[in-house]
Amino acid sequence: MKQRLLFLILIALVIVGCGRTQKYSYQGYVEGENVYLASPNSGVLKQLFVQRGEQVKKGQVLFQLDEDPQALVIQQNKADLLQAQKTLHDLEKPRRNPEIEAIKAQIAQTDARLKLAEIRVHRMEELYKKNAIDKDSVDAAVARYKELQQLKTQYESNLALARLGSRDEQIKAQQAEIISLTAKVKEAQWQLDQKRVYAPKSGYIYDTYYRVGEFVGSQQAVLSLLPPENVRVQFFVPVEALAQLELGQRIQFLCYGCHDSSTAIINYISPEAEFVPPLVYSRENRDKLVFRIKARIEHPQKFKPGQPVTVTFP
């Protein structure tokens, strides 16, 4: 009788076990995809407003590079624009006899500025050869020299038109010059604005790579930002479990030391197999080919990159 009762209990346990949904469990870890922030221009790091681990908000200023030579370029362009506007204003007035002499004076003044600009170019080139300055400073000096050459050419054209006694074409040329200089001012202002970098998203500063006073090359990251939406769970499954997964599927995971499990949504399934990576390597799975899976964490604020997790799904 006892043997028969024991047999019935065993059968019942088998039936209950078969009725349960099988769950798959795999090891993984939390990863973060950093946003690396840089300026398209080079320069000395003037100010670093944040530090490693600090929380920042979208639009918050992060760092500032030295404003030169971009600040000098915009000052020169604004001065040239103001001069061009004054010239146009004078052209629109009734012609006066001293005008020709005034244009000659402008040409003489521009010649003097050209000589100084040429000396500056040679000086900058020598300093650059000695690695005393960066290439941007040389380019700014050359650009200034070319602008003065163009300005002299314009003044010479104005003088020729004044001698002919016609002003219509001269006014049109000056208007075109103002349009060109206005565009240069806007471009120079944009270049200057790029030396002050703001947070494109909210998150925390993952790391900084330069100190104040160090020279930063163009497009070199000064710091990295980790937005919460860029924190994901990454795990690896064998080919036999791949059929159980699909994009958009919700999974459960438990991090080491956590009391409650969390959820994530699969947003990436690797198209090809690879060997088990070192972070989840063990004797049992060392020879297995697996597929990399990534899942977006629904509430990522409390997780940090590198945390080991155990992923489960039906």
Asked whether residue 14 carries a pLDDT value surpassing 70, the answer given is no
**Topology at the third CATH level for domain 35-66+204-226:** OB fold (Dihydrolipoamide Acetyltransferase, E2P) (2.40.50)
Bridge-based pairing state of the strands 223-226 and 203-208: antiparallel
Taking only the tens place, the pLDDT of each residue in 247-295 is 999 989 988 878 888 889 998 998 888 776 655 545 455 547 888 999 9
Instruction: With cut-offs at 50, 70 and 90, classify the pLDDT of residue 11.
Output: very low
Q: Tokens at residue 193, please?
A: 């604005």
Asked whether residue 1 carries a pLDDT value surpassing 60, the answer given is no
- Domain ranges for the chain: 21-33+227-313, 35-66+204-226, 70-193
- The Cα 209–Cα 222 span in angstroms is 5
- The Cα 118–Cα 139 span in angstroms is 13
- Inter-residue contact 94 to 167 (CB < 8 Å): no
Neighbours of 287 (CB within 10 A): 8
Of the CA atoms within 13 Å of residue 203, those in its CB half-sphere come to 27
Cβ contacts of 249-254, under 8 Å, gap ≥ 24: 249/313, 251/295, 251/311, 251/312, 251/313, 252/311, 252/312, 252/313, 253/28, 253/295, 253/309, 253/310, 253/311, 253/312, 254/309, 254/310, 254/312
Asked whether residue 9 carries a pLDDT value surpassing 80, the answer given is no
- Inter-residue contact 258 to 307 (CB < 8 Å): no
Q: Tokens at residue 141, please?
A: 């000096």
pTM, 2 dp: 0.57
Instruction: With cut-offs at 50, 70 and 90, classify the pLDDT of residue 69.
Output: confident
Burial class (CB in 10 A: 0-12, 13-18, 19+), 54: middle
- How many residues are recorded in the chain? 314
21-33+227-313 to CATH, choices 3.40.640.10, 2.40.30.170, 2.30.30.280, 3.10.150.10: 2.40.30.170
Asked whether residue 16 carries a pLDDT value surpassing 90, the answer given is no
